[in-house]
Structure 1
Amino acid sequence: MRTDTAAQQRGVGTPGRRDVILALLRASVEPRSISSIADELGVHPNTVRFHIDALLRAGRVEQVLGDSAGRGRPPTLFRASRRMNPTGPTNYQLLAGVLTGYVSREPDAADIAAQLGRSTGPALVAADTQGRAATRTRAVADLVELLAELGFEPEPVDGRRAREIRLRHCPFQSLAEQHGEVTCSLHLGLMQGALNAMRAPVSVDRLDAFVEPDLCVAHLVSAPRAGELS
């Protein structure tokens, strides 16, 4: 009965060929050629080239030129990139939870979070709107657009007459349920900082969280005079 080696190599718990090629490059002191890798694995060079190309596109492998032994072009060699995998697993939820939990233990947690939001909000505003005095209508429209990009799912508003912005989703809901004072104060500060960067004649003075299971409400007011936001 014939043994299917390729199937065995891709069995449960066994690294795929691409992972094996990357491991060989990581273990090698010197860059390696496609033919040398193919010889070691006992496969056709085109098979190795296919996986090398994918690793190059992913930034996992780098292409270098080797030393030429004579006339002609120097050989093309490959080595593993000496950096972390930019497409590897992430766990920002854990980081956000740790930082939010730390701030929540401070006696003035809400003020700290709001200030963090106000200092971060301007960085979220498009460069061509910063420092340019916006009309109320334009500022509210830009804020609604920003909140939509951040995942808050704001309802459409009439910027000239609006007194509130209704938010139908919280992209940080699990954190808000654990540390609502910090998370919601941060969101309030983000909105205030963004509007301040627009030099808008409107601001947000209060954010009512979860007034309904699927609704938070940001209340709009005339902007404070310069220096009143701390």
Structure 2
Amino acid sequence: MTVGFTLVCVDHSNEAPGGDVSAVAALDEPTRRRLYDHVARQSGPVGRDDAAQALGLARQTAAFHLDRLAAEGLLEVVYERRSGRSGPGAGRPAKLYRRSGKQISVTLPERRYELAGRLLAQAVEESDATGEAVREVLHRKATELGAQLGERETAGVTDLLERHGFEPRLDGEAIVLGNCPFHVLAREHTETVCGMNLHLLRGVLSTLGEEGWEARLMPSPGHCCVRLLPVA
């Protein structure tokens, strides 16, 4: 199942996926969704009174739902004087709402196609500029990204893998990855995407201090193509 809401495309790759689920749940309420759609269609920020009048709602109801949308990051709050005047006597700025720059994408099982697309685009662009083979650049970029993820991790490798949708679990002495975040791409472009994934996870291990594990390509049905095995 895929539920997607594309607002304004910005990078929120460091956000926890649970935040997107909460935002989608907020839009499941009919009145709240109508308010969101109304604000999104306007060319400028919308006030509570205007939104309530446009949708035939009580002002208190509109204010409640607008604030909930803002709390979920779906709307941004700005303050403006609607009279156009400034200085003493101009009155208090009005609380207004506009669509935020947050992008939401929720997939079950979790997928990370944007991450794969970014790595592939970087590899093609750098290959065009330097003449280096695209796959070599892709592997290097994936390793660098994995290292960056590992540097930011404060727990361990299984926590990082869980947070990024790999669904790690022990299988004997190995760590098996029950989900591939790049599933469709890996199925159609197996060698390219699985190689990228392998180097991504090798980069993770390189900076996590997890010398006891190594990432290997070991494809099997129903699992990610990479497994983590204890170093002999």
Task: State the TM-score bracket (shorter-chain normalisation).
Answer: 0.5 to 0.7
Larger radius of gyration: 1
Instruction: Pick closer, same or farther for the CA change 1:27–1:149 going to 2, 3 Å.
Output: closer
**Deviations, residues 120-179 of structure 1 (Å, cap 9, x unaligned):** 1122225476xxxxxxxxxxx933343233222333267xxx4x4333322221111011
Partner of 1:190: 200
- C-alpha contact 1:118 1:191 (8 A) present in aligned 2: yes
1:142 paired residue among 156, 172, 187: 156
SS in 2 for 1:125: helix
> C-alpha offsets along residues 183-204 of structure 1, whole Å, 9 cap, x if unaligned?
2112211222122213444453
TM-score normalised by length of structure 1: 0.55
**Aligned pairs (5 A) from 1:110-129:** 110-125=135-150, 127=152
Q: Would you say the 8 A contact 2:198–2:217 is kept in 1? A: yes
Equivalent residue in structure 2 for 1:86, among 99, 102, 106: 102
Q: Is residue 181 of structure 1 aligned with residue 206 of structure 2?
A: no
Query: In the aligned structure 1, how far is the partner of 2:134 from the partner of 2:165?
Result: 24
1:77 aligns to 2:87 (yes or no)? no
Relative to 1, partners in 2 of residues 1:220 and 1:207: Cα closer, same or farther, differing over 3 Å? farther
What's the TM-score, normalizing by structure 2? 0.55
In the alignment, is the contact (CA less than 8 A) between 2:168 and 2:177 conserved in 1? yes
Q: Deviations over 1:61-99 (max 9, x none)?
A: 4242635774xx933413343x64415568974784586
CA spacing shift, 1:102–1:208, aligned 2, 3 Å: farther
Distance, in Å, in 2 between the alignment partners of 1:115 and 1:41 is 53
Secondary structure of 2:168's counterpart equals coil
Judged with a 3 Å threshold, the aligned counterparts in structure 2 of structure 1 residues 109 and 208 are, in CA distance, closer, same or farther, namely farther
Between stretches 116-125 and 36-45, larger displacement belongs to 36-45
**Equivalence for 2:16:** none
Identity of aligned residues (%): 24
1:209 aligned counterpart, secondary structure? coil
The alpha carbon displacement at 1:206 in A equals 2.8
Match of 2:34 in 1: 16
Q: Is 1:100–1:183's contact at 8 Å kept on the other side of the alignment?
A: no
